[in-house]
Amino acid sequence: MTAQLIDGNALSKTLRADVAQRAAALTARGHQPGLAVVLVGENPASEVYVRNKVKACQDNGLFSVMDRFPATLAENELLAHIAKLNADPSIHGILVQLPLPAHIDSHKVIEAIAPEKDVDGFHVANAGALMTGKPLFRPCTPYGVMKMFAAHDIDLKGANAVVIGRSNIVGKPMALLLLEAGATVTICHSKTRDLAKHTRDADVIVAAVGRRNILTADMVKPGATVIDVGMNRNDEGKLCGDVDFAGVKEVAGYITPVPGGVGPMTITMLLVNTIEAAERAAQA
Ligand code: NAP
């Protein structure tokens, strides 16, 4: 292996120690940071994510409530619950686990969250603030990736960065944060004509697609930094990313593993965003 591993578990541990310290300081002043996680329905993957988020809060001194509703919950009932959380001073962050059942308009639900409690950073006000370079919250996954670059002193100024994927929760905000950091950014997606042509010229590649082996060694410039956001299952049912790790690690300069890369960072940044929200509320 030639690439240096970017260890999301180790970096998370360091960042969570800081979170715990800030949570304790806020709690001592009577402002324990609080996160409400809302789950509608019985999607097994969502259940695991939600449980991990609540546990991470408890382990680091944050207060956390998990509000579970059946898949039959009406949209207006969910909106009424969010209004209640918006008004609750013990709650600083509200996270509605996606996907929601088909009869509920997720866009409407996200827009109902008070922007100052939107710790996922998905509200249009927060997306707009990110776009104009003054973010209140950075979406957790791309924010975690930026922490990985910083932890390894990976210089983004003038770097050619390719983001594969253009979702609102990963690809687009990732591209904006890279742009803000001074990279020259290309966003690729399912309609991109020649993906390899773009990736071969990249100093930094972030793969956020949800397809195994979308990035192989022949598509990577020697020494490039490769970040794998994807979460897929291989033929044996084991968690794997979008990147052909075995091949790409022989070419790249830095690489993130799956599991143990971006995944733990996403939850860590949710804690960081909740702390930031609580600190702002305590100051107000
Ligand atoms: P998404 O909304 O499904 O977006 C996937 C993106 O990939 C789309 O923009 C799509 O293009 C693009 N794409 C699909 N096929 C492609 C191809 N052949 N070549 C180039 N681009 C292609 O997914 P997401 O929510 O962004 O998540 C992406 C992956 O990251 C998933 O595996 C998800 O589970 C994972 N994820 C991981 C974390 C974590 O914490 N590790 C957090 C969030 C997401 P079009 O727009 O043209 O369709």
Ligand 1 mean position, distance from CA 208 (Å): 5
Distances (CA, A) of 255 to 78, 164, 196, 244: 40, 15, 18, 11
Q: What is the mean pLDDT of residues 258-262?
A: 97
With a 6 A CB cut-off, is 76 part of the ligand 1 pocket? no
Residue 4 has pLDDT above 90, yes or no: yes
Query: Which residues are registered as beta bridge partners of 187?
Result: 163
Burial class (CB within 10 angstroms; exposed 0-12, middle 13-18, buried 19+) of 57: buried
Relative to beta strand 63-69, strand 184-188 is unpaired
DSSP 253: S
CB distance 252 to 225 below 8 Å: yes
With a 6 A CB cut-off, is 171 part of the ligand 1 pocket? yes
d(CA 57, CA 22): 13
Q: pTM (2 decimals)?
A: 0.97
Q: Which of 120, 170, 258 to mutate to test the pocket of ligand 1 (most atoms within 8 A of CB)?
A: 170
3 state DSSP class of 178: helix
With a 6 A CB cut-off, is 43 part of the ligand 1 pocket? no
Q: What is the mean pLDDT of residues 162-167?
A: 98
Q: What is the mean pLDDT of residues 30-59?
A: 95
Q: What is the pLDDT of residues 116-133, one digit of tens each?
A: 999 999 999 999 999 999
For all residues of the chain together, what is the average pLDDT? 97
Q: What is the mean pLDDT of residues 233-250?
A: 96
What's domain 140-263's superfamily in CATH? NAD(P)-binding Rossmann-like Domain (3.40.50.720)
Q: Would you tell me how many other CB atoms lie within 10 Å of the CB of residue 55?
A: 12
Confidence bin at 284 (pLDDT 50/70/90) = confident
Relative to beta strand 93-96, strand 160-164 is unpaired
Q: Which of 167, 168, 258 to mutate to test the pocket of ligand 1 (most atoms within 8 A of CB)?
A: 167
Q: What is the pLDDT of residues 175-227, one digit of tens each?
A: 999 999 999 999 999 999 999 999 999 999 999 999 999 999 999 999 999 99
Name the residue at shortest CA distance from atom 48 of ligand 1.
190
Are both 30-114 and 140-263 of the same fold?
yes
Q: Would you tell me how many other CB atoms lie within 10 Å of the CB of residue 215?
A: 29
Is 221 known to be catalytic?
no
Q: What is the mean pLDDT of residues 109-122?
A: 98
Q: What is the pLDDT of residues 63-106, one digit of tens each?
A: 999 999 999 999 999 999 999 999 999 999 999 999 999 999 99
* Domain coordinates in residue numbering, the chain: 30-114, 140-263
Tell me the Ramachandran region of residue 192: left when phi exceeds 0, alpha when psi lies from -120 to 50, beta otherwise.
beta
Confidence bin at 53 (pLDDT 50/70/90) = very high
Structure tokens at 255: 């690489």
Residue 55 has pLDDT above 70, yes or no: yes
Q: Would you tell me how many other CB atoms lie within 10 Å of the CB of residue 58?
A: 11
d(CA 18, CA 16): 5
Please name the residue ranges forming H helices in the chain: 8-28, 44-59, 75-87, 106-112, 124-131, 140-151, 171-180, 195-199, 245-248, 262-283
Q: CATH classification of 30-114 is 3.40.50.10860, yes or no?
A: yes
Residues belonging to the binding site for NADP(+) are 165-167
**pLDDT at 1 (0 to 100):** 60
d(CA 67, CA 69): 7
Catalytic residue among 118, 120, 203, 244: 120
